[in-house]
Amino acid sequence: MTNPRILLIIGGGIAAYKSIELVRLLRKAGYVVRCVITRAGEQFVTPLTLAALSENKVYTNLFDLKDEVEMGHIQLSREADLVVVAPATADLLAKMAAGIADDLATTLLLATDKPVLTAPAMNVRMWLHPATQRNIATLRGDGVTVMAPDEGEMACGEFGPGRLPEPAAIKNAIDAALAAAPAVTAMVGQPDFAPANHRPLYGRRILITAGPTHEPIDPVRYIANRSSGKQGFAIAEAAAAAGAEVLLIAGPVPLPTPPGVIRVDVETAVEMADEVRQGLPVDAAIMVAAVADWRAADPAGQKIKKDGSGAVPPLALAENPDILAGVAKSAERPTLLIGFAAETNDVIAHAEAKLARKGCDWIVANDVAADPMGGESNRVHIVSKTGIDSWDRLPKAAVARKLMEKIADELDARSPCQSD
Protein backbone atom coordinates (compact mmCIF):
# COMPACT_ATOMS: atom_id res chain seq x y z
CA MET A 1 0.00 0.00 0.00
CA THR A 2 1.29 3.53 -0.80
CA ASN A 3 1.99 5.88 2.05
CA PRO A 4 -1.02 7.97 3.13
CA ARG A 5 -1.08 11.44 1.58
CA ILE A 6 -1.92 14.52 3.64
CA LEU A 7 -2.78 17.96 2.29
CA LEU A 8 -1.98 20.30 5.19
CA ILE A 9 -3.56 23.76 5.08
CA ILE A 10 -1.91 26.20 7.47
CA GLY A 11 -3.93 29.19 8.62
CA GLY A 12 -2.73 32.38 10.29
CA GLY A 13 -2.12 33.11 13.96
CA ILE A 14 0.75 32.53 16.36
CA ALA A 15 -0.16 28.83 16.60
CA ALA A 16 0.99 28.36 12.98
CA TYR A 17 4.49 27.68 14.27
CA LYS A 18 3.26 24.30 15.56
CA SER A 19 2.67 23.21 11.97
CA ILE A 20 6.43 22.77 11.62
CA GLU A 21 6.47 20.08 14.31
CA LEU A 22 3.31 18.51 12.85
CA VAL A 23 4.96 18.14 9.44
CA ARG A 24 8.01 16.59 11.09
CA LEU A 25 5.87 14.05 12.98
CA LEU A 26 3.87 13.15 9.88
CA ARG A 27 6.98 12.65 7.75
CA LYS A 28 8.58 10.54 10.50
CA ALA A 29 5.45 8.34 10.49
CA GLY A 30 5.75 7.82 6.73
CA TYR A 31 3.06 10.22 5.50
CA VAL A 32 3.45 12.13 2.25
CA VAL A 33 2.75 15.78 3.11
CA ARG A 34 1.91 18.67 0.79
CA CYS A 35 1.49 22.06 2.43
CA VAL A 36 -0.72 25.00 1.53
CA ILE A 37 -0.19 28.15 3.56
CA THR A 38 -2.46 31.18 3.67
CA ARG A 39 -1.17 34.74 3.36
CA ALA A 40 -1.73 35.22 7.10
CA GLY A 41 0.08 31.96 7.84
CA GLU A 42 3.14 33.20 5.94
CA GLN A 43 3.53 35.93 8.57
CA PHE A 44 4.47 33.20 11.09
CA VAL A 45 5.94 30.30 9.07
CA THR A 46 7.96 30.52 5.86
CA PRO A 47 7.19 28.31 2.85
CA LEU A 48 10.91 27.50 2.66
CA THR A 49 10.86 25.88 6.10
CA LEU A 50 7.76 23.82 5.25
CA ALA A 51 9.24 22.77 1.90
CA ALA A 52 12.45 21.58 3.57
CA LEU A 53 10.57 19.51 6.16
CA SER A 54 7.88 18.10 3.85
CA GLU A 55 10.29 17.56 0.94
CA ASN A 56 7.54 18.88 -1.32
CA LYS A 57 6.66 22.18 -2.98
CA VAL A 58 4.59 24.51 -0.80
CA TYR A 59 1.55 26.15 -2.42
CA THR A 60 0.49 29.70 -1.63
CA ASN A 61 -1.16 31.37 -4.63
CA LEU A 62 -4.37 30.36 -6.42
CA PHE A 63 -3.46 32.40 -9.50
CA ASP A 64 0.07 31.14 -10.17
CA LEU A 65 -0.42 29.91 -13.75
CA LYS A 66 2.71 27.78 -13.64
CA ASP A 67 1.24 25.84 -10.71
CA GLU A 68 -2.06 25.43 -12.57
CA VAL A 69 -0.20 23.85 -15.50
CA GLU A 70 1.79 21.52 -13.21
CA MET A 71 -1.05 20.69 -10.80
CA GLY A 72 -4.42 22.41 -10.88
CA HIS A 73 -6.20 23.22 -7.65
CA ILE A 74 -8.82 20.55 -8.34
CA GLN A 75 -6.17 17.86 -8.65
CA LEU A 76 -4.31 19.15 -5.59
CA SER A 77 -7.50 18.97 -3.54
CA ARG A 78 -8.27 15.41 -4.57
CA GLU A 79 -4.94 13.62 -4.70
CA ALA A 80 -4.70 13.56 -0.88
CA ASP A 81 -6.21 10.88 1.35
CA LEU A 82 -7.04 13.49 4.00
CA VAL A 83 -7.17 17.30 4.07
CA VAL A 84 -6.02 18.78 7.39
CA VAL A 85 -6.48 22.41 8.43
CA ALA A 86 -4.12 23.33 11.29
CA PRO A 87 -4.38 25.88 12.65
CA ALA A 88 -7.99 26.47 11.64
CA THR A 89 -8.72 30.09 12.52
CA ALA A 90 -12.19 31.48 13.18
CA ASP A 91 -12.02 33.13 9.75
CA LEU A 92 -11.15 29.86 7.98
CA LEU A 93 -13.89 27.96 9.80
CA ALA A 94 -16.44 30.64 8.91
CA LYS A 95 -15.46 30.55 5.24
CA MET A 96 -15.60 26.75 5.19
CA ALA A 97 -19.08 26.78 6.75
CA ALA A 98 -20.30 29.39 4.28
CA GLY A 99 -18.69 27.77 1.22
CA ILE A 100 -16.53 30.80 0.45
CA ALA A 101 -13.61 30.19 -1.92
CA ASP A 102 -11.57 33.40 -2.14
CA ASP A 103 -8.01 32.09 -1.96
CA LEU A 104 -6.12 28.86 -2.61
CA ALA A 105 -6.84 27.30 0.81
CA THR A 106 -10.60 27.88 0.76
CA THR A 107 -10.85 26.92 -2.92
CA LEU A 108 -9.16 23.60 -2.19
CA LEU A 109 -11.49 22.99 0.76
CA LEU A 110 -14.56 23.62 -1.38
CA ALA A 111 -13.26 21.51 -4.26
CA THR A 112 -12.09 18.47 -2.33
CA ASP A 113 -14.00 15.19 -2.25
CA LYS A 114 -11.81 13.78 0.55
CA PRO A 115 -12.31 13.76 4.34
CA VAL A 116 -11.43 17.01 6.10
CA LEU A 117 -10.07 17.38 9.64
CA THR A 118 -9.66 20.76 11.34
CA ALA A 119 -7.69 21.75 14.44
CA PRO A 120 -9.07 25.10 15.66
CA ALA A 121 -6.93 27.83 17.21
CA MET A 122 -8.25 31.22 18.30
CA ASN A 123 -8.92 33.51 21.25
CA VAL A 124 -11.21 32.00 23.91
CA ARG A 125 -13.95 34.59 23.25
CA MET A 126 -13.82 33.89 19.53
CA TRP A 127 -14.09 30.14 20.19
CA LEU A 128 -17.06 30.58 22.54
CA HIS A 129 -18.84 33.10 20.31
CA PRO A 130 -22.23 31.82 19.07
CA ALA A 131 -21.22 32.48 15.46
CA THR A 132 -18.17 30.24 15.76
CA GLN A 133 -20.19 27.52 17.48
CA ARG A 134 -22.81 27.69 14.71
CA ASN A 135 -20.07 27.35 12.10
CA ILE A 136 -18.61 24.34 13.90
CA ALA A 137 -22.04 22.70 14.11
CA THR A 138 -22.52 23.31 10.37
CA LEU A 139 -19.14 21.82 9.52
CA ARG A 140 -19.72 18.75 11.69
CA GLY A 141 -23.12 18.35 10.08
CA ASP A 142 -21.34 18.41 6.70
CA GLY A 143 -19.05 15.60 7.82
CA VAL A 144 -15.98 17.67 8.71
CA THR A 145 -14.05 16.48 11.78
CA VAL A 146 -13.50 19.42 14.13
CA MET A 147 -11.08 18.71 16.95
CA ALA A 148 -11.74 20.22 20.37
CA PRO A 149 -9.18 22.92 21.12
CA ASP A 150 -6.90 22.68 24.14
CA GLU A 151 -7.58 24.80 27.21
CA GLY A 152 -4.95 26.97 28.82
CA GLU A 153 -3.16 30.30 28.78
CA MET A 154 -2.98 31.99 25.39
CA ALA A 155 -0.51 34.32 23.76
CA CYS A 156 -2.99 37.17 24.31
CA GLY A 157 -2.88 36.56 28.07
CA GLU A 158 -6.39 35.12 28.41
CA PHE A 159 -7.17 31.62 29.66
CA GLY A 160 -9.65 29.05 28.37
CA PRO A 161 -10.44 26.83 25.40
CA GLY A 162 -9.01 27.88 22.04
CA ARG A 163 -5.38 26.76 22.04
CA LEU A 164 -4.27 24.66 19.07
CA PRO A 165 -3.97 21.01 20.14
CA GLU A 166 -0.41 19.79 20.41
CA PRO A 167 1.08 18.39 17.16
CA ALA A 168 1.17 14.86 18.60
CA ALA A 169 -2.57 15.05 19.34
CA ILE A 170 -3.29 16.32 15.82
CA LYS A 171 -1.19 13.49 14.39
CA ASN A 172 -3.22 11.00 16.45
CA ALA A 173 -6.45 12.53 15.15
CA ILE A 174 -5.11 12.16 11.60
CA ASP A 175 -4.36 8.49 12.32
CA ALA A 176 -7.92 8.04 13.59
CA ALA A 177 -9.48 9.84 10.61
CA LEU A 178 -7.57 7.66 8.18
CA ALA A 179 -8.47 4.56 10.18
CA ALA A 180 -12.12 5.41 9.55
CA ALA A 181 -11.61 5.70 5.79
CA PRO A 182 -12.43 2.51 3.83
CA ALA A 183 -9.28 2.70 1.71
CA VAL A 184 -6.92 2.70 4.70
CA THR A 185 -6.10 -0.17 7.03
CA ALA A 186 -8.30 0.18 10.10
CA MET A 187 -5.47 0.07 12.59
CA VAL A 188 -3.30 2.89 11.18
CA GLY A 189 -1.85 4.86 14.08
CA GLN A 190 -3.26 2.80 16.93
CA PRO A 191 -0.89 2.84 19.90
CA ASP A 192 0.49 -0.42 21.23
CA PHE A 193 -1.36 -2.20 24.06
CA ALA A 194 0.83 -5.29 24.10
CA PRO A 195 3.37 -6.75 21.65
CA ALA A 196 2.62 -5.53 18.13
CA ASN A 197 1.43 -8.96 16.99
CA HIS A 198 -1.16 -9.28 19.77
CA ARG A 199 -3.74 -6.61 20.50
CA PRO A 200 -6.63 -8.30 22.30
CA LEU A 201 -9.35 -6.19 20.64
CA TYR A 202 -7.85 -6.06 17.15
CA GLY A 203 -10.63 -6.16 14.55
CA ARG A 204 -13.38 -5.27 17.05
CA ARG A 205 -15.65 -2.23 16.85
CA ILE A 206 -16.51 -0.61 20.18
CA LEU A 207 -18.91 2.25 20.89
CA ILE A 208 -18.45 4.26 24.08
CA THR A 209 -20.51 7.11 25.53
CA ALA A 210 -18.97 9.50 28.05
CA GLY A 211 -19.59 12.67 30.00
CA PRO A 212 -22.82 14.38 31.02
CA THR A 213 -25.63 15.73 28.89
CA HIS A 214 -26.88 19.32 29.07
CA GLU A 215 -30.64 19.77 28.77
CA PRO A 216 -31.57 23.41 28.04
CA ILE A 217 -34.06 25.21 30.27
CA ASP A 218 -33.58 28.52 28.48
CA PRO A 219 -30.70 29.94 26.39
CA VAL A 220 -28.43 30.33 29.46
CA ARG A 221 -29.49 27.55 31.87
CA TYR A 222 -29.56 23.80 31.62
CA ILE A 223 -30.08 20.61 33.61
CA ALA A 224 -26.84 18.70 34.06
CA ASN A 225 -24.77 16.61 36.48
CA ARG A 226 -21.21 16.50 37.77
CA SER A 227 -19.85 13.89 35.37
CA SER A 228 -16.34 14.82 34.20
CA GLY A 229 -16.13 12.25 31.39
CA LYS A 230 -12.70 11.13 32.64
CA GLN A 231 -13.58 7.46 33.10
CA GLY A 232 -15.30 7.19 29.73
CA PHE A 233 -12.39 8.87 27.93
CA ALA A 234 -9.92 6.58 29.74
CA ILE A 235 -11.94 3.58 28.56
CA ALA A 236 -11.94 4.87 24.98
CA GLU A 237 -8.18 5.33 25.08
CA ALA A 238 -7.64 1.84 26.51
CA ALA A 239 -9.94 0.28 23.88
CA ALA A 240 -8.02 1.95 21.05
CA ALA A 241 -4.72 0.89 22.60
CA ALA A 242 -6.05 -2.67 22.69
CA GLY A 243 -6.54 -2.53 18.93
CA ALA A 244 -10.26 -1.75 18.64
CA GLU A 245 -11.87 0.67 16.23
CA VAL A 246 -13.43 3.07 18.74
CA LEU A 247 -16.35 5.47 18.34
CA LEU A 248 -16.59 7.85 21.32
CA ILE A 249 -19.84 9.79 21.67
CA ALA A 250 -19.07 12.54 24.16
CA GLY A 251 -21.21 14.95 26.08
CA PRO A 252 -19.94 18.50 26.69
CA VAL A 253 -16.56 18.03 28.41
CA PRO A 254 -13.25 19.89 27.78
CA LEU A 255 -11.16 16.71 27.41
CA PRO A 256 -8.77 16.00 24.51
CA THR A 257 -9.68 13.22 22.12
CA PRO A 258 -7.78 10.03 23.04
CA PRO A 259 -5.26 8.75 20.47
CA GLY A 260 -6.74 6.56 17.76
CA VAL A 261 -10.35 7.38 18.66
CA ILE A 262 -13.14 8.69 16.44
CA ARG A 263 -15.08 11.29 18.46
CA VAL A 264 -18.57 12.72 18.02
CA ASP A 265 -19.61 15.57 20.34
CA VAL A 266 -23.22 15.99 21.47
CA GLU A 267 -25.02 18.14 24.02
CA THR A 268 -28.38 16.56 24.85
CA ALA A 269 -29.65 13.06 25.60
CA VAL A 270 -31.73 13.06 22.41
CA GLU A 271 -28.63 13.91 20.35
CA MET A 272 -26.65 11.18 22.11
CA ALA A 273 -29.39 8.61 21.47
CA ASP A 274 -29.42 9.51 17.76
CA GLU A 275 -25.63 9.19 17.45
CA VAL A 276 -25.65 5.85 19.28
CA ARG A 277 -28.27 4.47 16.87
CA GLN A 278 -26.21 5.65 13.91
CA GLY A 279 -23.07 4.10 15.43
CA LEU A 280 -24.48 0.57 15.48
CA PRO A 281 -23.67 -2.22 14.78
CA VAL A 282 -20.65 -2.78 17.01
CA ASP A 283 -19.15 -5.71 18.86
CA ALA A 284 -19.45 -4.01 22.24
CA ALA A 285 -21.15 -0.88 23.57
CA ILE A 286 -19.94 0.64 26.84
CA MET A 287 -22.43 3.23 28.05
CA VAL A 288 -20.41 5.31 30.52
CA ALA A 289 -22.20 8.64 30.00
CA ALA A 290 -24.23 10.08 32.86
CA VAL A 291 -27.28 10.90 30.77
CA ALA A 292 -29.83 13.26 32.31
CA ASP A 293 -33.05 11.42 33.16
CA TRP A 294 -35.22 14.41 32.33
CA ARG A 295 -35.23 17.46 30.11
CA ALA A 296 -37.32 20.62 30.08
CA ALA A 297 -40.54 19.79 28.25
CA ASP A 298 -40.67 23.23 26.63
CA PRO A 299 -37.36 25.15 26.87
CA ALA A 300 -37.85 28.90 26.95
CA GLY A 301 -36.70 30.85 23.91
CA GLN A 302 -35.44 33.70 26.11
CA LYS A 303 -33.86 33.88 29.54
CA ILE A 304 -36.44 33.31 32.29
CA LYS A 305 -36.55 36.39 34.53
CA LYS A 306 -37.57 36.84 38.14
CA ASP A 307 -40.68 39.04 38.37
CA GLY A 308 -40.16 40.19 41.97
CA SER A 309 -43.20 38.34 43.29
CA GLY A 310 -41.25 35.51 44.87
CA ALA A 311 -43.21 32.98 42.81
CA VAL A 312 -41.14 30.16 41.33
CA PRO A 313 -41.79 29.71 37.60
CA PRO A 314 -43.10 26.26 36.70
CA LEU A 315 -40.70 23.85 35.05
CA ALA A 316 -42.40 20.94 33.32
CA LEU A 317 -40.11 17.98 32.69
CA ALA A 318 -40.17 15.27 30.04
CA GLU A 319 -38.40 11.94 30.34
CA ASN A 320 -35.33 11.49 28.18
CA PRO A 321 -34.86 8.43 25.97
CA ASP A 322 -33.40 5.42 27.79
CA ILE A 323 -30.36 4.90 25.59
CA LEU A 324 -29.08 1.73 27.29
CA ALA A 325 -32.45 -0.01 27.26
CA GLY A 326 -33.02 1.08 23.68
CA VAL A 327 -29.75 -0.49 22.53
CA ALA A 328 -30.61 -3.68 24.45
CA LYS A 329 -33.89 -3.97 22.49
CA SER A 330 -32.34 -3.03 19.15
CA ALA A 331 -32.14 -5.47 16.27
CA GLU A 332 -28.46 -4.47 16.17
CA ARG A 333 -27.81 -5.24 19.84
CA PRO A 334 -24.06 -5.61 20.44
CA THR A 335 -22.59 -8.94 21.43
CA LEU A 336 -21.62 -7.33 24.74
CA LEU A 337 -23.62 -4.43 26.20
CA ILE A 338 -22.31 -2.71 29.32
CA GLY A 339 -23.97 -0.01 31.39
CA PHE A 340 -22.59 2.16 34.18
CA ALA A 341 -24.31 3.09 37.43
CA ALA A 342 -23.20 5.97 39.63
CA GLU A 343 -25.00 5.41 42.94
CA THR A 344 -25.07 7.15 46.31
CA ASN A 345 -26.45 4.27 48.41
CA ASP A 346 -27.09 0.51 48.20
CA VAL A 347 -24.71 0.40 45.23
CA ILE A 348 -24.85 -3.36 44.54
CA ALA A 349 -28.62 -3.65 44.99
CA HIS A 350 -29.29 -0.73 42.66
CA ALA A 351 -26.86 -2.14 40.10
CA GLU A 352 -28.54 -5.56 40.16
CA ALA A 353 -31.94 -3.93 39.67
CA LYS A 354 -30.60 -1.84 36.80
CA LEU A 355 -29.09 -4.92 35.15
CA ALA A 356 -32.48 -6.64 35.13
CA ARG A 357 -34.39 -3.53 34.11
CA LYS A 358 -32.13 -2.46 31.24
CA GLY A 359 -31.49 -5.85 29.65
CA CYS A 360 -27.72 -5.38 29.37
CA ASP A 361 -24.94 -7.88 30.11
CA TRP A 362 -22.94 -6.05 32.77
CA ILE A 363 -23.38 -3.06 35.03
CA VAL A 364 -20.23 -1.29 36.22
CA ALA A 365 -21.24 0.36 39.48
CA ASN A 366 -19.45 2.84 41.71
CA ASP A 367 -20.35 4.83 44.82
CA VAL A 368 -20.30 8.54 43.98
CA ALA A 369 -21.18 9.48 47.56
CA ALA A 370 -17.85 8.04 48.72
CA ASP A 371 -16.03 8.90 45.48
CA PRO A 372 -17.45 12.11 43.93
CA MET A 373 -17.52 12.51 40.18
CA GLY A 374 -14.46 14.17 38.69
CA GLY A 375 -11.89 12.33 40.79
CA GLU A 376 -8.86 10.52 39.40
CA SER A 377 -9.66 7.04 40.76
CA ASN A 378 -12.57 4.64 41.04
CA ARG A 379 -13.61 1.56 42.98
CA VAL A 380 -16.00 -0.39 40.78
CA HIS A 381 -18.14 -3.50 40.97
CA ILE A 382 -18.89 -5.48 37.79
CA VAL A 383 -22.39 -6.86 38.25
CA SER A 384 -23.63 -9.57 35.88
CA LYS A 385 -26.08 -12.46 35.93
CA THR A 386 -23.23 -14.76 36.97
CA GLY A 387 -22.10 -12.74 39.97
CA ILE A 388 -20.28 -9.67 41.25
CA ASP A 389 -16.63 -8.84 40.60
CA SER A 390 -15.47 -6.12 43.02
CA TRP A 391 -12.17 -4.36 42.32
CA ASP A 392 -9.89 -2.44 44.63
CA ARG A 393 -9.63 1.30 44.14
CA LEU A 394 -7.56 2.06 41.04
CA PRO A 395 -6.67 5.10 38.93
CA LYS A 396 -9.25 5.52 36.20
CA ALA A 397 -6.74 4.62 33.50
CA ALA A 398 -6.01 1.35 35.31
CA VAL A 399 -9.73 0.63 35.66
CA ALA A 400 -10.04 1.16 31.90
CA ARG A 401 -7.18 -1.20 31.03
CA LYS A 402 -8.45 -3.92 33.37
CA LEU A 403 -11.93 -3.55 31.91
CA MET A 404 -10.54 -3.96 28.37
CA GLU A 405 -8.88 -7.23 29.36
CA LYS A 406 -12.18 -8.50 30.76
CA ILE A 407 -14.10 -7.35 27.68
CA ALA A 408 -11.60 -8.97 25.31
CA ASP A 409 -11.92 -12.30 27.13
CA GLU A 410 -15.72 -12.09 27.11
CA LEU A 411 -15.92 -11.22 23.40
CA ASP A 412 -13.54 -14.06 22.52
CA ALA A 413 -15.74 -16.46 24.47
CA ARG A 414 -18.99 -15.21 22.94
CA SER A 415 -17.92 -14.40 19.38
CA PRO A 416 -14.32 -15.18 18.34
CA CYS A 417 -12.98 -12.50 16.03
CA GLN A 418 -12.18 -13.80 12.55
CA SER A 419 -8.82 -12.48 11.41
CA ASP A 420 -7.90 -12.12 7.76
Just list the catalytic residues: 156
- Given a contact cutoff of 8 angstroms between Cβ atoms, the answer to whether 82 and 174 are in contact is yes
Output the DSSP codes for 199-230: -TTTT-EEEEEESB--EEEETTEEE-----SH
User: Which ranges in 242-292 belong to alpha helices (H)?
Assistant: 269-279
- Given a contact cutoff of 8 angstroms between Cβ atoms, the answer to whether 239 and 233 are in contact is no
| Residue closest to 32 by CA, chosen among 81, 85, 105, 103 | 81
- Given a contact cutoff of 8 angstroms between Cβ atoms, the answer to whether 106 and 113 are in contact is no
The span from the CA of 206 to the CA of 189, in Å, is: 17
The span from the CA of 245 to the CA of 185, in Å, is: 11
Dihedral over Cα of 134, 135, 138, 144: its sign: negative
Q: 244 by DSSP, 3-state: which?
A: coil
Q: 310 by DSSP, 3-state: which?
A: coil
| Residue closest to 15 by CA, chosen among 88, 69, 80, 77 | 88
- 94's enclosing H/E stretch is helix 90-98
- Given a contact cutoff of 8 angstroms between Cβ atoms, the answer to whether 247 and 272 are in contact is no
The span from the CA of 92 to the CA of 349, in Å, is: 53
Dihedral over Cα of 244, 4, 136, 230: its sign: positive
The span from the CA of 35 to the CA of 51, in Å, is: 8
* Residue 227: how many other CB atoms lie within 10 Å: 24
| Residue closest to 276 by CA, chosen among 343, 224, 325 | 325
Longest CA span, the chain: 74
